[in-house]
Amino acid sequence: CLSRTRTRTVPGEGSPSAEVLFVGEAPGRDEDRRGRPFVGAAGRLLDRMLAAIDLRREDVFIANILKCRPPGNRDPLPDEIEACRPHLLRQIAALRPRFLVTLGRVPSHVLLGTTLGITRIRGIPREFPYPGGSAVLIPMFHPSYLLRNPAAKREAWADLKLLRRLLAGGE
Ligand code: URA
């Protein structure tokens, strides 16, 4: 558990009636300082991604696999993921979202139980059952990845449009 090295926990935030739950990896430095998810550079891009499909942060819910920052932003360790998994599953069961968007490799692997690369699984919707219902899970690129690889924004845009279409009730 990372509670000794973190500054603040970052449980996640958003609308209690959100239809979409975005799941990132773990808080970074900015999030650790402020106790809020996606408030640094990646968060500013996430806000723009949301705006591109007419969503605002207040309309959705944003959480992470880990609720505490790993020192130096290293990848989450398996025991840290397992320690935090029940928190996320409780958030999902309480929110009962129609859509789950996993941002990047780590949350996609954790929730789908696959080890296929993110470029292989992004944009492919899957059913994600939870107690009392199920969501459509769509893996997408992480905004930090898009900052490093702007050419991937084309696929990210396609994935966002898919989410917009499904949210509107289309096929
Ligand atoms: N990256 C994440 O995965 N989560 C955050 O909250 C911020 C950056």
| Residue 146: how many other CB atoms lie within 10 Å | 22
| pTM across the whole model | 0.97
pLDDT at residue 171 in the model: 56
Residue 106 CA: nearest ligand 1 atom is 3
Helix, coil or strand: residue 24: strand
Q: Place 170 in a pLDDT band, splitting at 50, 70 and 90.
A: low
pLDDT digits (tens, 9 = 90+) for 35-44: 999 999 999 9
Burial class (CB in 10 A: 0-12, 13-18, 19+), 38: buried
* Cβ-proximal residues to 82 (8 Å cutoff; 6+ apart), any chain: none
The stretch 36-65 carries a mean pLDDT of: 98
Q: Which of 144, 146, 147, 148 to probe ligand 1 with, by most ligand atoms within 8 A of CB?
A: 144
Positive or negative: CA dihedral 70, 76, 11, 159:
positive
Look at ligand 1, atom 7, and give the residue with the nearest C-alpha. Answer: 38
Give Cα separations from 70 to 67, 75, 80, 151, 165 (angstroms): 9, 7, 9, 28, 35
Average pLDDT for the chain: 96
pLDDT digits (tens, 9 = 90+) for 68-117: 999 998 999 999 999 999 999 999 999 999 999 999 999 999 999 999 99
The stretch 20-46 carries a mean pLDDT of: 98
Residue 24 CA: nearest ligand 1 atom is 3
Which residues form the pocket of ligand 1, taking CB atoms under 6 Å from any ligand atom?
24-28, 31, 37-38, 42-43, 64
| Of 73, 48, 60, residue with least CA distance to 19 | 60
